[in-house]
Amino acid sequence: MKKVAFLGLSALLLYACGGSTNTQETASKTEPAVQEVQEVPQEASAYDSLRGLGKFDKVDVGKALDQGMAVKGKQIFDVKCSSCHKLSDEKLVGPGWKGVTERHRPEWIMNFITNPDPMIDKDPKLQAQLAICMVRMPNQNLNDEDARNILEFMRQNDGVK
């Protein structure tokens, strides 16, 4: 009985940490929520600690929270993020999310959650975090809309109303 429970839990964790196979299908059914993003080509050797590495150069989040996006972000968190991250400042596998939107700009957050490997390789703070956590953040294959929804949920978690 213990083996069956362990196998079931293992399968659930693998599913939660794996990429979605219907990302394009989901993206085609909904309007893109990230229209304020500008793509900027960047050399692999360049690193901007304020925006990270990736296609997000400017993300306009506005002052008020978008409740609909935050709800969608919470759903994604529950499936793909909660097995490694807590909403407090407590470390689980990865660091807790409390205060992340106060420590990093929206561009940095979205570049990191959509493009973790190159950023871990270049960012000294992420390398220090890796030394503490000892596990690289896996690429969750999030589309731009999912990343923006997660960012809005992070903002909500940090008290933006």
- Which residues does residue 52 pair with via DSSP β-bridges, in sequence order? 48
Confidence grade of residue 139 (pLDDT, cut at 50, 70, 90) = very high
Other beta carbons within 10 Å of 107? 22
Question: Could you tell me the CATH number of the domain that includes residue 71?
Answer: 1.10.760.10
Confidence grade of residue 11 (pLDDT, cut at 50, 70, 90) = very low
The predicted structure's pLDDT at residue 45: 52
Percent of the chain with pLDDT over 90: 71
- Which residues does residue 85 pair with via DSSP β-bridges, in sequence order? 91
Cα separation, 39 vs 110, in Å, equals 12
Cα separation, 141 vs 28, in Å, equals 16
The predicted structure's pLDDT at residue 47: 86
- In total, how many domains does the chain have? 1
Q: Which two tokens stand for residue 160?
A: 């933006």
Q: What is the mean pLDDT of residues 20-45?
A: 42
List the domain range (segments joined by +) for residue 94.
2-157
